[in-house]
Chains A and B, each alone.
Chain A
Amino acid sequence: MLTCKQASQLVSQSLDRPLSLPDRIRLRFHLFICDACTRFNQQLNKLRIAVQALRGNIENDSAIQLPLEAKARIVKHVSDSSESNQH
């Protein structure tokens, strides 16, 4: 019988690797009888969707631009370092 603490660890691990069959069965049984861990499981799924939405928002926000001074610095740095490589 899993405790909620153990079940929550398995829920998190299931996002990172396929669980073993015994773990999968134990977890499924626990979730079947435990509302709190079922909610936790839903929360982690929602969390993952949300952080990917956050990523998408930044990737697609055309107002976010490489600052001009950073751009100038990069061009200079790359030119300098490739020149010094040639000597």
Chain B
Amino acid sequence: MIGANVNDWLNEHGDYLYRFALARLRDPHQAEDAVQETMLAAIKNNSFEGESTPRTWLTGIIKHKIIDIQRKQIREQPLSDLVDLDATDNSMDDFFDQTGHWLERPQVWDMPGSALEQKQFLATLSKCLDNLPAKLAALFMMRDVHEIDNEKICKELEITATNAWVMLYRARMGLRKCLEMNWITG
């Protein structure tokens, strides 16, 4: 009976949920785990509200499961690793000189026009995300892709708002630098 339920859910929504998780976690194994945790939670609490469809119900569950996985990934490292990233220290020396001026001025980005360019650009972006330190990438995905608000992120990760801003700043600086180096336009 339980097996039949899970089977039906996976047949109808499994691919959708998997893609939903993969788009936010980027790792196939983690995405599979998110689907599995969603099924476990759904079986335990098999009562979606009358007004919502099974898909919106399951999507609501997987959103939380994705945050659980991202939190684990980010908190695996000792917190000191995370808070050591004070932006007033010299961790931004790659980008700015002593007086706070850009060492290399940001370029104008012409966004890709054709479908092929778009595809290449997104492939480069994907590689740049892979190159980012894992916890910075996970936090960036949480904020800018999963679109969790800052307050909730701080609560989930037990970090201060300042820590979150500093880490997000580092992640974005790293990504834009990587894109400038690896994606040449025109």
Using CB atoms and an 8 Å cutoff, list the residues of chain A in contact with chain B: 3-6, 8-9, 12-13, 15-17, 35-37, 39-40, 42-44, 46-48, 50-62, 64-67, 70-71, 73-75, 77-79, 81-83
Contacts and interface: CB of A to CB of B under 8 A. Distances in A.
Question: Does more than half of chain B's interface fall in helix, strand or loop, or is it mixed?
Answer: helix
Contact of A3 (B99, B111, B143, B179): B99
A74 B144 contact: no
B40 A16 contact: no
B92 A5 contact: yes
Interface of B: 2-3, 6-7, 10, 14-15, 17-20, 22-24, 28, 32, 35-36, 39-40, 43-44, 87, 92, 95-96, 99-102, 105-109, 111, 118, 121-122, 125-126, 129, 140, 143-145, 150, 161, 164-165, 168-169, 172-173, 175-176, 179
A17 B40 contact: no
A55 B106 contact: no
Contact of A78 (B40, B118, B175): B40
Sorted nearest first, the 10 A-B pairs with minimum C-beta distance are A3-B100, A58-B23, A5-B100, A66-B18, A39-B106, A36-B105, A12-B169, A55-B23, A5-B96, A66-B14
B10 A74 contact: yes
B35 A74 contact: yes
Contacts of B129: 51
B10 A44 contact: no
B143 A16 contact: yes
B19 A17 contact: no
Nearest to B170: A12
A22 B150 CA distance: 21
A39 B19 contact: no
A62 B145 CA distance: 20
A16 B148 CA distance: 10
A39 B108 contact: yes
Contacts of A62: 15
Contacts of A77: 36, 40
A33 to B, nearest CB: 13
